[in-house]
Copies of this chain bind each other. A is one copy, B any other.
Amino acid sequence: MKITLSTGRVVETKEGESILESLKKAGIFLTSSCGGKGVCGKCKIIVQSGDVESRSHIKLSSEEIRQGYALACMTSPLGEITIDIPKQSILTVEGQIVTGKAKDLLAMLNSAGGDIDPLSERIVLQLPKPTLDDNISDLERLKRELFANGLGCLRVPSRFMSNLAKTVRKKDWEITLSAIHSEDCYEITNIFPGNMKVPQYGIAIDIGTTTIVVYLIDLTDGQLVDVASIYNSQIRFGDDVITRIVNATEHGEMEHLHNAVITDINELISILVSNHKIDTESIDTIVVSANTTMTHFFLNLDPSAIREEPYIPTANVFPLSHAGEIGIEVNSKVPVYSFPCVASYVGGDIVSGVLATRMHKSEDMSIFIDIGTNGEIVIGNSEWMMAAACSAGPCFEGSGIKHGMRATEGAIENVKIDPDTFDVEIKVVGDNAKPMGICGSGMIDAIAEMFLTGVINQKGKMQKDVSDRVRDGEDGLEFVIHYEDKRDIVLSEPDIENIVRAKAAIYAGFSTLLNEVGMTFKDVQKVYIAGGFGKFLSIEKAIILGMLPEMPKEKFEYMGNTSVTGAYFCMLSRKLRSEAEKISKEMTYVELSVNNSFMDEYMSGMFIPHTDIDSFPNVKKLMEK
In the complex, chain B residues whose CB is within 8 Å of the CB of A63: none
How far, in whole Å, are A183 and B166 apart by their CA atoms in the complex?
A: 29
In the complex, chain B residues whose CB is within 8 Å of the CB of A312: 130, 135-138, 165
**A309 on the B face (CB < 8 A):** yes
Q: Mark A132-149, 1 if CB is under 8 A from B, else 0.
A: 101111111000000000
How far, in whole Å, are A527 and B344 apart by their CA atoms in the complex?
A: 67
In the complex, chain B residues whose CB is within 8 Å of the CB of A561: none
How far, in whole Å, are A315 and B141 apart by their CA atoms in the complex?
A: 9
The residue on B at minimum CB distance from A135 is B310
Which of B136, B163, B185, B310 has a CB less than 8 Å from the CB of A316?
A: B136
Which of B155, B158, B161, B315 has a CB less than 8 Å from the CB of A161?
A: B315
How far, in whole Å, are A135 and B319 apart by their CA atoms in the complex?
A: 20
B158 touches A321 (CB 8 A): yes
**A5 on the B face (CB < 8 A):** no
The residue on B at minimum CB distance from A303 is B165
Which of B156, B302, B344, B591 has a CB less than 8 Å from the CB of A162?
A: B302
- Copies of chain A in the complex: 2
Residues of A contacting B: mostly: loop
B138 touches A313 (CB 8 A): yes
With A135-B312, A312-B130, A343-B135 as contacts: A319 and B165 at CB distance below 8 Å: no
In the complex, chain B residues whose CB is within 8 Å of the CB of A163: 302
B132 touches A301 (CB 8 A): no
**A525 on the B face (CB < 8 A):** no
How far, in whole Å, are A136 and B344 apart by their CA atoms in the complex?
A: 9
How far, in whole Å, are A165 and B343 apart by their CA atoms in the complex?
A: 15
B183 touches A301 (CB 8 A): no
CB-contacts of A565-613 with B (<8 A): 591, 594
Which of B134, B164, B303, B315 has a CB less than 8 Å from the CB of A139?
A: B315
The residue on B at minimum CB distance from A313 is B137
**A304 on the B face (CB < 8 A):** yes
Which of B164, B313, B317, B325 has a CB less than 8 Å from the CB of A301?
A: B164
In the complex, chain B residues whose CB is within 8 Å of the CB of A134: 310
A319 touches B132 (CB 8 A): no
With A155-B319, A319-B155 as contacts: A169 and B136 at CB distance below 8 Å: no
How far, in whole Å, are A357 and B275 apart by their CA atoms in the complex?
A: 64
In the complex, chain B residues whose CB is within 8 Å of the CB of A326: 158
A299 touches B158 (CB 8 A): yes
**A311 on the B face (CB < 8 A):** yes
The residue on B at minimum CB distance from A164 is B314
Expressed in whole angstroms, the minimum distance between the Cβ of A299 and any Cβ of chain B is 7
Which of B316, B325, B594 has a CB less than 8 Å from the CB of A132?
A: B594
In the complex, chain B residues whose CB is within 8 Å of the CB of A591: 132
The residue on B at minimum CB distance from A304 is B165
**A511 on the B face (CB < 8 A):** no
B169 touches A319 (CB 8 A): no
B158 touches A314 (CB 8 A): no
With A162-B300, A164-B302 as contacts: A317 and B140 at CB distance below 8 Å: yes
Question: Which residues on A are within 8 Å of B, measured CB to CB?
Answer: 130-132, 134-140, 155-156, 158, 161-166, 169, 183, 185, 299-305, 309-317, 319, 321, 325-326, 343-344, 591, 594
- What would be 13 A-B contacts, judged by CB atoms less than 8 Å apart? A130-B310, A132-B310, A138-B312, A138-B314, A139-B316, A140-B317, A155-B319, A161-B301, A162-B300, A162-B302, A166-B302, A166-B304, A183-B185
